[in-house]
Amino acid sequence: MKNYKLSVIIIFMLTLLSGCQGNEIPDLIFSIGIGVDWQDNQIELTSEFIKPTATKEDSREDSSAVILSGKGRTLAEASNLLSDFLPQTPLWNHVSIVLLGENLCKTDVALVSDYLTRTTEIKHNIPLLVISGSNPEEIFKTKPVLETYLSTSLARTLKNEEKQLNMYKPVLMYEFMRKLITPGIEPVLPQIKKVKDGEKYILSLDGLAVFKGPRMIASLNEAESKGYHYLTGKNINSGLLLINNPEDPGYFITFELTKLAAEIKPLIEKENQRITMLIQVHADGNFYEQSGGGDLLRLDKYPQLEQMAEDKINAYISNCIDKAQNINSDILGWGQLINQADTHFWGGIAPQWDTMFPAVNYQLQSDFIIRRTYLTSKSYYFQE
Amino acid sequence: MSISNNKSSQKSIADNNKSASISPELNKNQEILAQRLAGCSDFMQREFFFGSPPAKALVVFFEGLVDKRQIENNLIKSIFMNCNIFSSKEQNSETYHAGLLNNLKNRVLALAEVKNIDNYEDIIFHIFSGDTVLLLDKCTDGLVIGTRSWAARAVSMSENETTVFGPKESFTETLTFNTAMLRRRLKSSSFKIEKLTIGRISKTSTCLCYIENIAPPAMVSDIRDRLSQIDIDAILDTGYLEELITEEPYSIFSQAMHTERPDRVCGNLLEGKACIMIDGSPMVLVLPVTFPQFANAPDDYYINYIPATLFRFLRIAAFGASLLMTAVFVSLLTYHHEMIPTPLLLTIISARQGVPFPAFVEALLLEITFELLREAGLRLPNAIGPAVSIVGALIIGDAAVQAGLVSTPMVVVIAFSGITSFVIPNYNAGIITRVMRFVFLIAAGLLGLLGIMIALILLITRMASISFFGVPYLSPVAPFNRQQIFDILTRRPWFNNTLRPWQEGMKNQKRYEQRQPPSAGNKRGTNQ
């Protein structure tokens, strides 16, 4: 009986604990995306909030999001000041994307990286984007296409992008932060920019921002981004590859990639400290479209088509490598590959990797196979 | 103090009367009976004379409990028709009258149940039970004649435990019908029906049934002892007995299954359980039962074992949803917003705007409303029943949402968890679930998921700590038994169900010797 009494007392005492603090949903305002920038030596935090709408009908109108900004010396202060004059408590659990201003990236990511990863409210598996030629507030004020909220629209677009175009891959916050602090690999982030389309502005992805240390130093264009994706992507099983039509100049042949895997191995010659990266690309694709004429779908033409596709892949990849070596940022993670192959050797060269990376040689070999041609097994022969 | 005095004095009177044997003078007997049954207007007596020299006889019975035609045709008429047997020249009255009774019993009465009695207590007990008693002048014995027949409900379809497949009949209020229903299914001498009488006033016939070489003897004798120790004025339903013989008086958990299906009772008897039936109630107690067993429906054993197993999974999931769904939803809305997927959150935000109550209060109000509707539907006469559901559906489902008093997602959650509680095949377990749901809801409102976990731990610890008649309440989950957990989670096919669920002290665990797969040789075509 004594135990019963004790347990009843304990249960009632538990209810007085202040462990969890309950918050009713109407008392909260949910942020679904944030943007951070560095302006006038202050951190500016912009956030897209879900507008608590009175009825469902309102949520379909364009004013369903609220964009608010706060400024402070640190990100924490900015976030605090942002919520200062709000009647509701902001909640950051549902942030689905983080936009980093170009200015901030070029100054120092370390201004915000600590708070972003330390706070308990922001998830670590959300994608990061760099804004090029604009600021977060302008981006958030752009009307999203087909969706209600810009942030969710961006996060979903990024996911889709990887499947469709095979150029950009969402870079999640924890991946970015890990690359930021790991020697022998540098991070990249997809860039977003505002494009004028007739009367209104739309957003589009535009290359990759390349970091060196905590600063952004350059960006890759689309072709280089594609090369970067081919080299570093895992399980690539979609995307298009265009080559010129060999029979009909000015027209194209489109291949649909069904598999692409790049195998990179460092070849280390210890005595003279020479490193050669051996890159072997295995790709499969389907014959997707032929514009223009020419009887291409013949067995004797296949080697030629495959050779052209291989050359194209090689061109993308070597473009990317050349650019990376040019700006001297090891975004391909070659330093890490050397570390994996020979830790001892890497230990010796790590301090001067910065100077060695631009001079690293590479051998590139691609291998492309055409698998299917879909419904027509012949090319059009136009009567003239 | 006065009560206890009364009790003891009652007992002493009863003891005195028990010893009082029938007087040889019929008039005196008549007087005593009339005195003891004064005020019982349904008490009937019929006096007549027969034979030569004429012997005075008295027939006593209670109106409505007996079949009067049997008394007229097979008792009084056969005595009058066979008067010639009783003409005797001997005038030695003592031997004549003693022989008269035996003659009547052996040669005249065309009735199946006839036996001698010799005291008033038995006379009164038997006439209360619907038997007729025949008393003769100058005899110290009487005859009890089985003429029980009263207006009884016929065997009908089970109303509360309906199934699509399987037997449809259910128990009735008449004990003999019920024992017959079991006996018809278990034609074995090892199926025992022990009879005892419980209740000072009601003197209810109670049967303890079990299969002798399957049910653990220790358990049976334990139940028998507990039953025989009951001292109560009346037993009106088997529910009384459950509380009177329980080992855990302060517990919400039911140790017995109440069922009205004979097939369900037989199935449980074959698994080594015992059952208790009483006269006057169609509900039969099966005990001891375990909690995981409540997921079994009688249907399971009549349909193909693969869908039966899937349905069982569904029921277990429904049980979990019924217990936890509202609580989890409330704790997500109040404490753990980060665990709601963003698209769902968008829906919830727009639905909850303008709702005046916190999520916990809203859920509690809706749950109480649901219980009210359920209770009202149960109590209302059939003619008004549908009206309640219409009002419930309109007010709860539509008007309250339109008025902005409650949010639609909450209504959906409450309705869903309400439906799932009715999926549990045992009504009693359904009640437990609905009560516990409120406990979980309060825990969730106070401490969120942490509270739910605390409540869950307390609940499981409590359930694991009790056992009824040597069977742990959570077995075979705890203590864990790998072989039998399959019996709970899945429905084994009959050709591979060789073992009965194990119980402490069970002697005969095998249903049959070995697995008997349907053999290929019996297939059509292979024999030719």
Does B218 map to a domain? yes
Does B486 map to a domain? no
The full DSSP string for B231-262 is --S---SHHHHHHHS-S-SS-SS-SSEEE--H
Residues B184 and B210 in one domain: yes
β-partners of residue A31 are: A49
Of B329, B334, B338, B348, which to mutate for an interface test with A (greatest number of A Cβ within 10 Å)?
A: B338
- Whether chain A has a CB inside 8 Å of the CB on B348: the answer is yes
Q: How many domains does chain B have?
A: 3
Domain of residue B352: give its range. Answer: 302-465
Residues B219 and B202 in one domain: yes
Q: Among B302, B305, B271, which residue's Cα sits nearest to residue B288?
A: B271
Residues B398 and B326 in one domain: yes
Does B188 map to a domain? yes
Residue A61 binned pLDDT confidence (cut-offs 50, 70, 90): low
- Whether chain A has a CB inside 8 Å of the CB on B402: the answer is no
CB contact under 8 A, A14 and B358: no
CB contact under 8 A, A91 and B345: no
**How many angstroms from the chain centroid is the CA of residue A333?**
16
DSSP A246: S
**Nearest C-alpha of chain A: how many angstroms from B66?**
54
- Which residue, B245, B279, B300, sits at the end of a domain? B300
**Residue A234, C-beta contacts closer than 8 angstroms, at least 6 positions apart:** none
- Comparing alpha-carbon positions, the chain A residue that sits nearest to B402 is A55
Does B160 map to a domain? no
CB contact under 8 A, A152 and B454: no
Select the residue of A11, A19, A25 nearest B349 (Cβ to Cβ): A25
Q: Find chain A residues with C-beta within 8 A of B352's C-beta.
A: 25-26
Residues B263 and B309 in one domain: no
- Which residue, B300, B318, B340, sits at the end of a domain? B300
CB contact under 8 A, B350 and A53: yes
- Whether chain A has a CB inside 8 Å of the CB on B481: the answer is no
Residues B314 and B290 in one domain: no
Does B45 map to a domain? yes
> What are the helix and strand counts (H, E) for chain A?
12, 14
Burial class (CB in 10 A: 0-12, 13-18, 19+), A233: middle
Q: Find chain A residues with C-beta within 8 A of B333's C-beta.
A: 24-25
Residues B215 and B293 in one domain: yes
Residues B221 and B346 in one domain: no
CB contact under 8 A, B337 and A121: no
- Whether chain A has a CB inside 8 Å of the CB on B456: the answer is no
Burial class (CB in 10 A: 0-12, 13-18, 19+), B526: exposed
Residues B140 and B194 in one domain: no
d(CA A343, CA B514): 63
**Domains parsed from chain A with CATH numbers:** 26-219 (no CATH), 221-384 (3.30.300.210)
Does B515 map to a domain? no
- pLDDT by residue for chain B (528 residues), tens digit each? 333 344 444 444 444 444 578 888 888 888 888 888 888 888 888 888 887 778 888 999 998 888 888 888 888 888 888 877 776 665 556 667 767 888 888 888 888 888 888 888 888 888 888 889 988 888 888 889 888 887 788 888 888 888 888 899 999 999 999 999 999 999 999 999 999 999 999 889 999 999 998 999 999 999 999 999 999 999 999 989 989 998 888 888 888 889 999 999 999 999 899 999 999 999 999 988 888 888 888 888 899 999 999 999 999 999 999 999 999 999 999 988 889 998 898 888 888 888 888 899 999 999 998 888 888 888 888 777 777 777 777 776 788 888 888 888 999 999 899 889 888 888 888 888 989 999 999 999 888 898 899 999 999 999 999 888 888 898 888 888 887 888 888 888 888 888 888 777 787 888 887 777 666 555 555 444
Q: Is B216 helix (H, G, I), strand (E, B) or coil?
A: coil
Residues B246 and B119 in one domain: no
Residues B324 and B461 in one domain: yes
CB contact under 8 A, B349 and A50: yes
CB contact under 8 A, B337 and A91: yes
Q: Find chain B residues with C-beta within 8 A of A59's C-beta.
A: 346, 350
CB contact under 8 A, A54 and B450: no
Residue B23 CB neighbours (<10 A): 16
Q: Find chain A residues with C-beta within 8 A of B342's C-beta.
A: 32, 94, 96, 152
Residues B221 and B292 in one domain: yes
Whole-prediction pTM value?
0.82
- Whether chain A has a CB inside 8 Å of the CB on B355: the answer is yes
Residues B423 and B351 in one domain: yes
- Which residue, B95, B126, B145, sits at the end of a domain? B145
Half-sphere exposure of B120 (CA within 13 A, CB side): 23
Does B245 map to a domain? yes
CB contact under 8 A, A50 and B355: no
